[in-house]
Amino acid sequence: MLLEKINSPEDIKKLNKTELQQLVDEARTALLGKISQHGGHNGPNLGVVEMTVALHYVFNSPVDKLIFDVSHQSYVHKMLTGRAEAFLKENHYDDVSGYTNPKESDHDLFTVGHTSTSLSLANGVAKARDLKEETSNVIAVIGDGSLSGGLAYEGLNNISEQGTNTIVIVNDNDQSIAENFGGIYKNLRGLRETKGQASDNFFKALGFHYEYLDEGNDLQALIELFTKVKDSTEPVVLHIHTIKGRGFSFAEENREKFHAGGPFSLETGEYISTGNQLETYQQLTTEFLLDKMAQDPTVVAVNAGVPMLLFNEEQRKQAGQQFVDVGIAEEQAATMLAGLAKNGAKPVWAVFSTFMQRSYDQISHDLALNHLPGTILVYGASASGMNDESHIGIFDIPFLSHIPNLVYLAPASKEEYLALLEWSIEQTEYPVAIRVPVGPVQAAQLLEKIDRQEVFKNQIIQKGEKIAIFGLGNLQSLAQEVAKQLENSYQVHPTVVNPRVISQLDTALLDDLAKTHQLVVTLEDGILEGGYGQTIASYFGNTTINVQNYGLDKAFHDRYDAKELFAANHLTVEAICQGISEKFKG
């Protein structure tokens, strides 16, 4: 096997044509072997095997700088830069992350997981090179999907303005054809159909030298193209047409399904079921929205980047004009929400916490400043969500809940979630974000409707004395467990509160508690600093009421075990009871 002997790109440069093709085949086999057992970004990596081998054959990484957009397509790059073992040996699968990572290799420039950043990063790297009067190639690999993000356009503009060597590889696997997308996607399609000859070329319009390659999975054609533009002294766009999922028929045929996922069968192309058939908050949302849309033609679901978050292909068809996919463009989603709400529609945008932060200003300046009633469903806002350092969802409370006018809600059960969602869609006063619960669906006492006043009131789950425990959203169940444990072990009967609203305090309730309680405990599934609990600590700062805030430390935790992370931050029944009991000792 050649692949095992590739310790660095230097080893690739010594191979002849036949060996290079053999390396491609081995890399694809290794890739399929790992992803079928381990899961990952399947389609994107299968499509760029030839391209990655050609890149490392022609260019001289790490002197030449390779930057992968989102970097979820960097698996083959990892294999070729000293990390083949992580794809060949099962017990080494977890040696590498699913994204580029400078801690793993000098060939990985950046930790990246969000979209559309590669061109601006490349622009900075190239500018530093120019300031130092060095020469090297700077190459950014960006997929057609990532071109929908505004930052990619800003990067193109600035690379063009800089005017020196930067090679932008547009990896166009025409994923967009399925959804018949306009704007840039109409242009890409026109260029593909004319083999790069169509008039009104988007990239030429922005001042780039442009080359088109239709056979983007042809190794020799790629080597030829890269050799031609190597050491170019001007900005270049290489528009390369590749086949997403190349070499695995099921993935070529069903590109959405095989974009990313868990383990699957190489024989049948079916994902291996985890046996988890429980009801999820995602399903609840889908059903609720489809039903709501059928009743009201002004309800409109907006998506940025992850269409399957709300609806599968069939459900998207069912939603019809009431579903808008804006591309991987969270800013557009948030600002479009403002326009929709202003003109009388009832927009709902579902987005992961980690991606929502890409639209902070749009949520603040367009939606909140204008008091417009759009609804944002914040998914994965929890330490129990995605756990890669580039994708964690534990920062949303500090960055979202302090935006004026915006109402941020944290339901703790199915009934509460659906009632708040219903309220949010129908009310016309506030921009509202809802922290969609994470984990198994929790039932609560039936709440069919929540009126305006109740939305802003904390809910007393259990009335007690001395100690009040505020369990926010996902951690309401932990609060109740702590209360039980306190009763059992310490014969204390604490008050348990479900705050429901994050973005403001229920001061009437707090003042009332102050009369009969000495300690308030807050639990939140997010970082402590700048969070919900600290606003309560501040409220009681000048009183004799003590406040203990429990939450996560401020860090980009990487590939962690959620249970361990909670434990390390004292977010367990035992640790919290311990903290509380110490207060009442002696």
Q: Which run of H or E residues covers position 214?
A: none
Residues composing the chain:
586
Structure tokens at 147: 């071109």
Phi, psi of 434 (to 5 degrees): -120, 125
Q: Which run of H or E residues covers position 502?
A: none
CB of 351 to a second copy, least distance (A): 12
With CA atoms as reference, report the closest residue to 543 among 502, 513, 522. 513
59: CB partners within 8 A, 6+ apart: 66, 137, 139, 226, 230
Place of tokens 């003590």: 546
CB of 241 to a second copy, least distance (A): 18
| CA 94 vs CA 34, 38, 85, 103, 375: distances in Å | 11, 9, 10, 14, 38
Cβ closest to a second copy, residue 225 vs residue 324: 324
Let me know: does 303 contact 309? Beta carbons within 8 Å.
yes
Cβ closest to a second copy, residue 440 vs residue 541: 541
Cβ closest to a second copy, residue 207 vs residue 263: 207
CA dist 194 and 199 (Å) reads 9
Let me know: does 306 contact 72? Beta carbons within 8 Å.
no
Structure tokens at 585: 């000792």
Sheet hosting strand 459-462, strand order edge to edge: 459-462, 495-498, 466-471, 517-527, 546-552
Let me know: does 220 contact 17? Beta carbons within 8 Å.
yes
Let me know: does 74 contact 44? Beta carbons within 8 Å.
no
CA dist 552 and 531 (Å) reads 10
Cβ closest to a second copy, residue 229 vs residue 340: 340
CB of 86 to a second copy, least distance (A): 21
Beta bridge partners of 531: none
CB of 39 to a second copy, least distance (A): 23
Amino acid residing at 487: E
CB of 252 to a second copy, least distance (A): 26
CB of 395 to a second copy, least distance (A): 7
What is the rounded (10 degree) CA torsion for 404, 405, 411, 416? 170
CA dist 147 and 202 (Å) reads 11
Cβ closest to a second copy, residue 43 vs residue 149: 149
Instruction: Give the CA count within 13 Å in the CB-facing half-sphere of 263.
Output: 9
Sheet hosting strand 65-68, strand order edge to edge: 65-68, 138-143, 166-172, 235-241, 209-213
Let me know: does 497 contact 468? Beta carbons within 8 Å.
yes
CA dist 425 and 346 (Å) reads 6
Cβ closest to a second copy, residue 53 vs residue 126: 126
CA dist 111 and 333 (Å) reads 25
Cβ closest to a second copy, residue 327 vs residue 471: 327
Amino acid residing at 184: I
CA dist 391 and 406 (Å) reads 24
Cβ closest to a second copy, residue 92 vs residue 186: 186
